[in-house]
Amino acid sequence: MKKVIVIHGPNLDLLGMRETNIYGKMTLDEINRMLQELAQENKIGLEIVQTNHEGEIVDAIGKAPSNGFDAVLINPAAYTHTSVAIRDAVAAVDLPTVEVHLSNIYSREEFRQTSLISAVCKGQICGFGPYSYVLGLQAILKVIKN
């Protein structure tokens, strides 16, 4: 069975109450349920991690191959724009990785319009709210099943 790790970055545990005009009213638990349903329908294993700590994200990515994961779905959140460490971890493991964002980072503040992560990812999906995650997992499914 193929396995995917989903990594939610900082402050995503606050979804549903945090700046709902930008991030919507859906909670992280609701997003995770959508992802788990999609994974079950496609007979893949899914592990979901949320952390506000950069080092924990780096550790989860670094351990992904030895933990049997075939791909990474990540919303690095604010670390998208600042973390060379996460970028380097994604590059180091060489697993298909899809970066997702709830909002369209390219239509936001100038400092949010740069992703340090995207260059080492298979692709990036942003701007579709919670469905960015669904689209990201569907993209990963196509990649790992081929």
Q: Which residues are known catalytic residues?
A: 23, 101
User: What is the C-alpha to C-alpha distance for residues 82 and 49, in angstroms, rounded to an integer?
Assistant: 20
User: What is the C-alpha to C-alpha distance for residues 7 and 54, in angstroms, rounded to an integer?
Assistant: 11
| Nearest partner of 130 among 36, 37, 33, 26, judged by Cα | 26
Token digits of residue 8: 């939610």
Map residue 125 onto helix, strand or coil.
Answer: strand
Map residue 58 onto helix, strand or coil.
Answer: helix
Q: Which amino acid does the sequence have at 24?
A: G
Contact 106, 59 (CB under 8 A): no
